Structure 1
Amino acid sequence: MQAKKTLLAIALGTATLGASAYETEYGNAYADVKVRYETNDTDDATDNDAATGLITDAAVGFETLNYEGFSALVEYEIVQPLIDDYAPEKAGYDAIADPETREWNRAQVSYKKDEFGAIVGRQRIILDGARFVGNVGWRANEQTFDAVTLTYSKDELSLHYSFIDQVNGILPRFDADTTSHLLNAGYKVGTGKITAYAYLLEDDDTENSQRDTFGLSYNGSYDMDGTKLIYKAEYATQSTETADTNYFALEGGAVVSGVTLALGNETLGSDDGNAAFETPLATKHKFNGWADKFLNTNANTGGLGLSDTYVKAVTKVSGVKLVGFYHTFNSVEDDVDFGNELDLLAVKKLDDTFTVGAKAAFYSAGDTGVDTTKMWAWVQAKF
């Protein structure tokens, strides 16, 4: 326990020194330090106690100055629970997906010249809002990729290709050797952006592991007499050795006097109830409710697929960002009620270094599932 307290004191004390103390003639050191309190009360049949965690996460790195277009970056991450009354750290409690971790989070060499870019090594990859490929940045232990990435960007056109050799997940069991290809092309047109993508994933350690996803999306906005209309639409198909499924997403809304209101639906389809659409590399916490009841579409819906209809509201009051979601969940096949969920968030940026926030998810079960309440409060320092 003394070592844990010492780690926290060093991390927070370092954060107060400011960014200027870490600039050198060779490059810049940086740190991202978080302290988060989290609870999970899942009303299931296991009789587990509600989980409680106080978790520190310190990512410390160094990025060299650019030389002839080349630069290098290394980043080490330490996740240290100070209160660890949760699974998998302790049996008999509900789960929190932040085990104690020590790892090289990123280690990469980059090249950038004119419109072209390249990154080789352990890196962060986030594409199109992280629905299909993301870093799972909400969790303490970030998801990164051992990969080669090539990019091209000029005027309205952007191109991205990544070859992924290994996925470094938020939990050790999510690490995977892969032979995966990510292709993404975007083009700005009119008041929006059209994106086409192909994500060809293969887990080298698992049979029947090929998962090919092809999709097209449009995301835009339009200003009209002081009101901004916002809209997006997306469609994708997915094929594995055993199933073919579809994905749909629609959202429309408006921004009026600083308040965003929107209605949307996201459907992860099913192949006649045998298998459901999956997004294994996504930042899944961002979608389908913050209680994380549908992280694995097949396991959590029995292969029936998921239709998530939601309303959201976003505004800012006295510098505090406020977000609210209400979801209703149903199956795609067999009309099963999967419940509903209310999500609330408040975040305040105190200055260029410190941010504080609070968040809650209240999931109510339907024909299946179990009632779940999760809450978070945190402070974060970036410098």
Structure 2
Amino acid sequence: MDPSQAHLQDQGVHEPPCRGWWRNPIDERTMKRILHVMPVLILALAPALATAQQVTVGGQIRPRSQYRNPSLSGAGSTGREFFNDGDGFTTMRARIHADAKLKGNVRIFAQLQDVRIWGSETSTLGDFNADNFDLHQGFVDLSSEDDVWLGRAGRQEVNLGGQRLIGAVDWTQQARSFDGLRLQRMKDGTGATFLAFQTADATAPTQSADAGVFAGYGKINNVLGGALGLYAIYNTRNGALSIDLGTFGFRQVGKIDRFSYRLESYYQTGNTAGLDVQAFMVGARIGMNLGKGSVTLWYDYLSGDDDLTDNTSKVFNTLFATNHKFYGYADLFLVIPLETGGRGLQDLAVKGTYKTSESTLIRLNLHSFRATKQGTLSTKRFGEEIDLVGSWRYNEHLAFSGGASYVIQGDALAELGRLDRDMTWLYLMVDATF
């Protein structure tokens, strides 16, 4: 990587979030593995189960077939590069969990998952190692009698507000979880959440630095037809690419009569990789219900930098966001600011939904992507994207979805070395839970 762009590497995200999600999921032996693991999981929780007031066991099987053309060719200085011919593959998530509610308002939750590509093992007779088997969540809760107060310790998913800055990225088969602590007070939709997570520890042989994230989130209900969210997030990391970064902002979302709206703004300040950071983001949407459907106008602005070689950075970092939710389903901008080349991002979109029945929904989204700063690029235009998705829920345990995206490539993506022609992406997914 060009040293001048080192600071673009996920300043607040110490794992590459979602990078390679299409390379991660399961083969036909997974069900056997889960059946083998279930007794182990139950035995591990046996002391708790013996005194539990309520115990539930559940799971999920979620295969997803995809086709992308052009497909991933590798990772460069500005993120994932797509130059190979078309590629089709099937990934799958398999999860099993046990949830024990004990006396004294104590809860123990453990969730195991296996994530891989179908056909990643030529023969399970010869290769039966659980390379992609992991503890996705494992935590203990202590709550007050009225469930207003909650303390949690362990590995856990976190979704703050609209997941603009911290989210579990459930679309990816592996999803994201954190190791650490949560303290929360919430009553009638109003309250506060405090988080302290260890995202890297140099004691572990796989890590070379210590890193963490500390966050405070406040929510005030019944404000302007909705709720106001307040954010304060601090990211820290030592070592060569040190981070000392604060992110502060708000998100107001609500509904008035037939109209829905969102307004949010965030400011970042601090230091990353020796650079002084002053960056911001603003976003807004307004939507209207139209019988069985809706139409929404959407705009997001993430600040960028004209000069990536000086000692300042004006590039907004989306931290641990669920970016698949926001910047197009084709996932060209999963890792921001890396995958915008530090030039920022503008997303002007029109989104429509239509509910054909109680169990069927169709979505059509149109995006126009541009950089906020041109710098050495000949144009700000990243391109346009069309997303069409349909979903059908068979019953409470089984759902199907499928979609297609077409990206009209802009010259800026080619100049960043990421995409040199239009892209097509297709998917079909089955989601079964119990």
Partners of 2:350 and 2:172 lie apart in 1 by 24
Question: What is the aligned partner in structure 1 of residue 109 from structure 2?
Answer: 73
Partners of 1:136 and 1:377 lie apart in 2 by 18
2:300 to 266, 274, 288: 266
Partners of 1:345 and 1:353 lie apart in 2 by 20
CA offset digits 1:47-101 (Å, max 9, x no partner): 523222112211111011232111101111001321459xxxxxxxxxxxxx961
Question: What is the aligned partner in structure 2 of residue 183 from structure 1?
Answer: 216
Inter-CA distance 174–258: structure 2 relative to 1 (3 Å threshold): farther
Question: What is the aligned partner in structure 1 of residue 397 from structure 2?
Answer: 353
Contact 1:146–1:167 at 8 Å: present in 2 too?
no
Contact 1:52–1:84 at 8 Å: present in 2 too?
no
Contact 2:171–2:324 at 8 Å: present in 1 too?
yes
1:338 to 349, 363, 382: 382
The answer to whether structure 1 residue 368 and structure 2 residue 412 are counterparts is yes
The answer to whether structure 1 residue 30 and structure 2 residue 21 are counterparts is no
Residue 152 (structure 1) shift: 0.5
1:197 to 231, 242, 259: 231
Provide the secondary structure at the position in 1 that maps to 2:112: strand
Contact 1:79–1:100 at 8 Å: present in 2 too?
no
Q: Structure 1 stretch 268-277 or stretch 74-83: which is displaced more?
A: 268-277
**Aligned partner of 1:193: which letter?**
A
Contact 1:143–1:167 at 8 Å: present in 2 too?
no
In the alignment of these two chains, the number of paired residues is: 350
Partners of 2:286 and 2:293 lie apart in 1 by 14
Inter-CA distance 259–77: structure 2 relative to 1 (3 Å threshold): same
Inter-CA distance 254–167: structure 2 relative to 1 (3 Å threshold): farther
The answer to whether structure 1 residue 250 and structure 2 residue 284 are counterparts is yes
Partners of 1:288 and 1:46 lie apart in 2 by 17
1:288 to 314, 321, 327: 327
Residue 143 (structure 1) shift: 0.6
Inter-CA distance 198–333: structure 2 relative to 1 (3 Å threshold): same
Inter-CA distance 286–4: structure 2 relative to 1 (3 Å threshold): same
Inter-CA distance 261–244: structure 2 relative to 1 (3 Å threshold): same
The answer to whether structure 1 residue 140 and structure 2 residue 173 are counterparts is yes
Residue 289 (structure 1) shift: 0.9
- Superposition TM-score, scaled by structure 2 size: 0.75
Contact 1:11–1:33 at 8 Å: present in 2 too?
no
* Structure 2: runs of 5+ lacking an equivalent: 1-25, 36-48, 74-80, 122-129, 414-418
Question: What is the aligned partner in structure 2 of residue 53 from structure 1?
Answer: 89
- Superposition TM-score, scaled by structure 1 size: 0.84
Provide the secondary structure at the position in 1 that maps to 2:411: coil
1:102 to 117, 129, 133: 133
Partners of 2:278 and 2:389 lie apart in 1 by 36
Partners of 2:208 and 2:329 lie apart in 1 by 23
The answer to whether structure 1 residue 238 and structure 2 residue 277 are counterparts is no
Residue 154 (structure 1) shift: 2.1
Inter-CA distance 359–308: structure 2 relative to 1 (3 Å threshold): same
The answer to whether structure 1 residue 42 and structure 2 residue 70 are counterparts is yes
Question: What is the aligned partner in structure 1 of residue 30 from structure 2?
Answer: 7
CA offset digits 1:348-376 (Å, max 9, x no partner): 11011101110222111112222222211
Partners of 2:388 and 2:174 lie apart in 1 by 23
Inter-CA distance 309–190: structure 2 relative to 1 (3 Å threshold): closer
The answer to whether structure 1 residue 312 and structure 2 residue 351 are counterparts is yes
Residue 299 (structure 1) shift: 2.6
Inter-CA distance 10–303: structure 2 relative to 1 (3 Å threshold): closer
Contact 2:192–2:219 at 8 Å: present in 1 too?
yes
The answer to whether structure 1 residue 111 and structure 2 residue 142 are counterparts is yes
Q: Structure 1 stretch 59-68 or stretch 297-306: which is displaced more?
A: 297-306
Question: What is the aligned partner in structure 2 of residue 127 from structure 1?
Answer: 160
Partners of 1:216 and 1:106 lie apart in 2 by 28
Inter-CA distance 251–73: structure 2 relative to 1 (3 Å threshold): same
Question: What is the aligned partner in structure 1 of residue 98 from structure 2?
Answer: 62
Partners of 2:326 and 2:207 lie apart in 1 by 19
Provide the secondary structure at the position in 2 that maps to 1:131: coil
Contact 1:151–1:159 at 8 Å: present in 2 too?
yes
CA offset digits 1:254-289 (Å, max 9, x no partner): 012021101010111124453421112111211211
Contact 1:208–1:240 at 8 Å: present in 2 too?
no
Partners of 2:254 and 2:208 lie apart in 1 by 35
Inter-CA distance 68–286: structure 2 relative to 1 (3 Å threshold): same
Residue 327 (structure 1) shift: 0.4
Question: Structure 1 segments of 4 or more deviating over 6 A?
Answer: 9-12, 43-46, 173-176
Contact 2:34–2:96 at 8 Å: present in 1 too?
no
Alignment identity in percent?
22
Partners of 1:46 and 1:310 lie apart in 2 by 23
Partners of 2:286 and 2:83 lie apart in 1 by 42
Residue 251 (structure 1) shift: 0.4
Partners of 1:167 and 1:294 lie apart in 2 by 24
Instruction: State the structure with bigger RCO (CA 8 A, min sep 6), 1 or 2.
Output: 2
